[in-house]
Structure 1
Amino acid sequence: MTDVKVPVLGESITEATLGEWLKKPGDAVKADEPIASLETDKVSVEVPSPVAGVMGEQFFKVGDTVEVGAVIAVVGEGGAAAAPSPSPAPAAAPAPAPAPAPATDAAALSPSVRRAVLETGVDPSTVQGTGRDGRLTKDDVVAAAAAKPAAAAPAAAPAPAPAPAASGRKEERVRMTRLRQTVAKRLKEAQNTAAMLTTFNDVDMTEVIAARTKYKDLFEKKHGVRLGFMGFFVKAAVQALRDIPSVNASIDGDEIVYHDYADISVAVSAPQGLVVPVIRDAQDLSVAGIEKTIGDFGKRAKDGTLKMDEMKGGTFTISNGGVFGSLMSTPIINPPQSAVLGLHRIEDRPVVRDGQVVVRPMMYLALSYDHRLIDGREAVTFLVALKNAIEDPTRLLIDL
């Protein structure tokens, strides 16, 4: 038997939550094939089998806390377990045939789909995948789960007994994921530690929208990625951070740490909650480079394949609540950073231009900052610099 141990999970991370067993005792496993998934403070991590063989005893249940280095299961080094299938092939071929299919399908599911399957109880073998090559997506599982009550309704209707119970109020208790616990803890720490203040401004998106409309097809053809608004905002933020370095700084004890680089954290929605990967050295990237990085983060966040190192550090955060329809918010700082920019939805509003009331696509900007380090004048100056760059994107090209 070979021990399966919890791998090193990253700097300062000593434990995780067992999120899911991907193999059952008795299942055949290949070397390096994932047999379990762990939830850490930031991402899901798959635990591979160290050898090929048969899944043995599992020492922890889903939801248990496991420490780095702990033995969570054993694998029997039984190469013969996979070999018997060729010898009894003539007689045994019909029986094993159905069994491997679901096992193979389950192993091929992405972490986000496996999590959705675990949470909804949907049998993935009964769902038709709409992804590439017929692969299941999270939306497929959610849709199948939503359809289940409808299918069960006719069978439940004839039964008179459950009727009284249906009128009662119900509650469900669900254990908080480790990610949600960590987010709650860190956000509360930020409120308790920083002297947080939020300053607002609005920005006319007319010119950026026009530029995006004019060049989006050429941009996608050349760079292989869609041209969004985040590329403009990250680029504008980098310039504003250079002019107002305190917004890009942090407090360490009784010292202020100034950074001559801009590592921009971007909030991305993932199945297990909000994650914040970091665009490293954003000051050296073009708009195309920024968009490619963000697109890659978004895809891998949905698949649950973001790496721990990709979410460490960061000197400034941009959170786009506008994609969910938010009109205005007061974002919370991501410690140890000292500021976070909140973007919101774009909507047509009447504004005055040259003495005339006209309709323009406007967006509210919100900068939450640590008042211990950043003065109100600096916060306002930062937002005005950002606003000017977005309202006149040429500034981004000629570095104004």
Structure 2
Amino acid sequence: MKTLFLTVISVLLCSLLLAETSITIFNENFATVRTKLQLDLKKGVNEYRFTDIPTYIKPTSVKLNPIKKTDKIIIYSQNYEYDLANTNKVLDKYLDKNIELIVKKGDVFSGILKAFDSNSVMIQKSGSDEIFIINKEEMQNINLAKMPENFYTKPTLRWLLYSDKSGKREVELNYITDNIKWDAQYVAQLNKDDNAIDLSSWISLDNRSGKRYEDVKLKLMAGAPHLVREKPVYARDIMPLSAKGMPEEFGVTEKEFYEYYLYTVKQTVSINNNQQKQISLFDPTNVIVEKVFTYNCNPKGDINTSIKFVNSEKNGLGIPLPKGLVRIFKRDAEDDVEFIGEDEITHSPKDEEIELKVGVAFDVKGEFTVLHTERISKRARKEEYQVELRNHKDKDITIEVTKRLGRDWEITNASDDYEKKDAFTAKFIVKVKANQNKVINFTVRFNY
């Protein structure tokens, strides 16, 4: 091994003679990147520098492996150089060394750099005790002999590696970078009768990683991984999500991957640093929905509106929907599309119910009143409640009324049918006729 290091080390900048990059972006603001490179190596020890990396790379995640198992490439060390050059850092290396400074008037000052700050530079004239203090606003150029060693103008990976022969060798570079994410953006247009929506979706990419990715193969992971698994997991199902009219080479496919879903963009994608980009996930799909009014006995009397649907093939969907923001629109009497509300959905598998909160109803109000409270024993009390629902609309509606009651309760008397929504909540489904009011009375016993 000692004789190995006696060979001449070749220092090369990593040239992308052949590069193929694929990237998998996660919702959690990070991505895994895989780049195939063709390195032109000399036999023996080579120092290779690779600068085409993002600012927010996780250096401990970097792996460089030969693609062919028969290729003998031994990596002795790997350095991540991120001490990037700037004016102050370079000047700091030139303290007590000669520099040349030119001011805007054309005068040249040569001498030893003694000090500098954000406002001025102090130079001692060569061969003299004379000192010049020059304001930075007066400066035009600072001339230095050379760039100090171990300075880099951009983040750099530096490898010391051994190759058993000269020539072009194919390797794969893998790493994780932060500050790049994706989410889904949905547009739902409600129909005239409020019983169906046209639902379309966009993939929204946000790249702030410090690197441009050009013509990459793009995948998007929907899920919440605790860790990234290196072993491949094979897909069990695959389904096209793109619209019927979209060319086959475009669009997105989804497949189950481990306990997540992986969305693959068919076409290659380019995205600049500090850029947001949208890609169509699927075009408008007609989905059957139900409009719902809900009143949770709040003191303001607000009755919320929402739309519910089951993510099933029967209703027009039946595909895994990644989490994202849903903006809801509807056409008015003049056939103009108007915004009526928005809500977020979580990762939603097929055949699950999805509810989108739209807003607060204008023509429907509720009023909750405590009519009577009585302590009936040391370990129990009862309360009598009244809920008044006022429908000022010109059509009948159904309102879901919920009241959170606590842990140990039972309704001993009620004017209307009810059910336990959960261990803590009672629910009434109430029909209210057009331009009429409806009153519900119920008594609750609480046990301690």
Same fold (TM over 0.5): no
Structure number with greater CO (CA < 8 Å, separation at least 6) is 1
Q: TM-score range by the shorter chain?
A: under 0.3
Q: TM-score, normalised by structure 1?
A: 0.26
Larger radius of gyration: 2
- Structure in which a larger fraction of residues adopt strand: 2
